[in-house]
Amino acid sequence: MEGVKKIKELKVVRNEKKYYIDIDKAFRLKNLLPNILKEDKFNCNDGYIIRSLYFDTIYNNDFLDKENGLENRRKIRIRTYNLDTETIKLEIKEKKGDLQCKSSLLISKEVGESLIKGKYEVLKEYDNDLAKELYAIMSLECYRPKCIIEYKRNAYILLENNIRITIDENIRGTEESFDIFSDNLNLNNILDSTVLEVKYNNFLFSYIKDLLCLVDSDESAISKYWNCRNTMY
């Protein structure tokens, strides 16, 4: 292809709290949250499907950084929603102290397929600093596809302080295939619990904190990627 291309970039910086909850608490929250927050437009009748393909170095540095509890670490992934090939994101998510920084590029299915094959040079075609950064990281540090993770999410939002609460269920994964666009993945359970995530800027309103008290669960440093790789080892 000749010339450089434009690409849409998204960036989010916020705090995140994560909790393991059981099925009963998840059911209770899904009935309670729509009365307090606005439902995500993609929720439909009962949530939407998120599928992510995670990359890591040949030495599994990102997995080991999480296992060793490093304060600053990252994850690189391709993500789809409801298996829709019209909305695909290439993301780098970085933990910097208490903050989570997520930068995303909206890519095509063809670009996604090239990345899965290790053809990272497709990112050089874009007039975008993040694309260039990801090209450098993924090529110089020898990133390779490692696993696919899929789950159902219900999401609820409050524009003030960019508050977003998500409930993730039926969390499954595989290391057998890296075809994120396949309709026939053989996925295995990697978590028996449901995961509640509370994401926000600056601070949480008191009534959101009261809601978390109802959850009656301790905050956990949950990583679906780490759980998948740890389960599959």
φ, ψ (nearest 5 deg) of residue 212: -65, -30
Residue 73 corresponds to which tokens in the numbers above?
A: 């670490």
Q: In this predicted model, which residue has the larger pLDDT, 87 or 48?
A: 48
Q: Percent of the chain beyond pLDDT 90? A: 75
User: Distance between CA atoms of 44 and 65, rounded to whole angstroms?
Assistant: 36
Give the pTM. 0.93
Tokens matching residue 19: 């909790």
- Identify the DSSP state of 141: T
3-state secondary structure of 56: strand
Closest to 180 measured CA to CA, from 47, 48, 81: 81
Domains of the chain: 9-232 (3.20.100.30)
Determine contact, residues 99/13, Cβ cutoff 8 Å: yes
pLDDT at 3 (0 to 100) = 60
Q: What is the pLDDT of residues 80-102, one digit of tens each?
A: 999 888 889 999 999 987 789 99
pLDDT at 6: 86
Distance between CA 69 and CA 138 in Å, rounded?
22
pLDDT of 87? 82
**Is residue 1's pLDDT more than 50?**
no
Query: What interhelical angle do 23-32 and 206-215 show, nearest 10?
Result: 150
- Indicate the SS3 state at residue 199: strand
Amino acid at residue number 35: N
At residue 86, the pLDDT reads 83
Give Cα separations from 161 to 5, 17, 43, 99, 111 (angstroms). 33, 14, 21, 14, 34
Interval 60-83 mean pLDDT: 94
Q: What is the DSSP string of 52-70?
A: EEEEEETT-HHHHHHHTT-
| Structure-model confidence comparison of residues 114 and 209, the more confident one | 114
List helix spans (H) across the chain: 23-32, 61-67, 109-116, 129-140, 206-215, 224-232
φ and ψ at residue 24, rounded to 5 degrees: -65, -40
CA distance between the termini of the chain: 40
Residue pLDDT, tens place only, 141-178: 999 999 999 999 999 999 888 899 999 999 999 999 99
